[in-house]
A and B are shown apart, each in its own frame.
Chain A
């Protein structure tokens, strides 16, 4: 039973990387926190494009608190590259740029339409000061309050 327990201890605690390379997984294995043995696909994916030694160098070069983010971004890029071997995630970037260009163009068009409508409203509703003055002079009454375009009128 001890032997069985010992076998469990050595095999079940290896990270996916050490399991892949069939080697002992040391306590301070740089890969272990980011490539658990319950997700072997993650490492095979990333290893296919970057290689284990490159991944280790990248992990060593950045602070510990950012390493998980590094691994996830490498995994994402590797997955994109598997789905699209020619363009990878750069295909997504191209698509987003196109969406931005289309949205900017539509926004400019809508803004221009609004500006035209705003300008037409201003021109239509510009008060005729000479007419008002003549009315006052005629009757001695200020008809300014009867302006149908004055909100007070309603």
Chain B
């Protein structure tokens, strides 16, 4: 009679560094084997030991969010080695500025129409609002 033992596949971190994934592995809760790229990115940009130090700087209930944000930053840096997340922020800020200008122009048109109903307004907001805001600069939009 053979004894059955449950097999726990190694987490992505232990698989990457080719070591035995022991019970209680610190990386295992955050790096499931199904997503090896997540750990590869984090390892490349932050390094495994740095990453654990950063994780230990936050409270336990905040660690999952911290891992997600660090993984996001690492992925952004892998995609854009020069600017990383700063490139995403710059892109989004430009989008915000553009939308604010369009909104100001549309509000001005609305005021004009209310004041002078026969005035033929030349709509200055030419672009539809379906563009932009969803891409986040090309990095996985799962954060929101």
Contact = CB atoms under 8 A, between A and B. Distances in A.
A40 B45 CA distance: 22
A90 to B, nearest CB: 4
B95 A100 contact: yes
A125 B113 CA distance: 15
Contact of B136 (A53, A73, A97, A125): A97
A58 B74 CA distance: 12
Contact of A103 (B81, B84, B103, B109): B103
Given A50-B50, A89-B86, A104-B99, A111 B133 contact: no
Contacts of A50: 45-47, 50
A30 interface: no
Given A101-B133, A117-B114, A93 B103 contact: no
A87 B69 contact: yes
Interface residues of A, number: 46
A85 interface: yes
Given A86-B62, A110-B106, A103 B96 contact: yes
Contacts of A86: 58, 62, 65-66, 69
A89 B73 contact: yes
A134 interface: no
B138 interface: no
A54 B46 contact: yes
A62 to B, nearest CB: 6
A111 B81 contact: no
Contacts of A34: none
A114 B113 contact: yes
Give the interface SS of chain A, mostly helix, strand, loop or mixed: helix
Nearest to A96: B92
Contacts of B85: 73, 77, 88-90, 93
Q: Is the interface on chain B under 10, 10 to 19, 20 to 34, or 35 or more residues?
A: 35 or more
Contacts of B106: 107, 110-111, 114
Interface string B49-88: 0100010011000100110111011000000011111111
Contact of A58 (B57, B73, B81, B87): B81
Contacts of A108: 129
A118 B78 CA distance: 49
Question: Which among B65, B69, B143 has the greatest number of chain A C-beta atoms within 10 A?
Answer: B69
Contacts of A53: 47
B121 interface: yes
Q: Which 4 A-B pairs have the closest CB atoms?
A: A100-B133, A103-B99, A96-B92, A73-B86
Given A90-B73, A103-B96, 6 more contacts: A73-B83, A73-B85, A73-B86, A88-B85, A96-B95, A100-B133
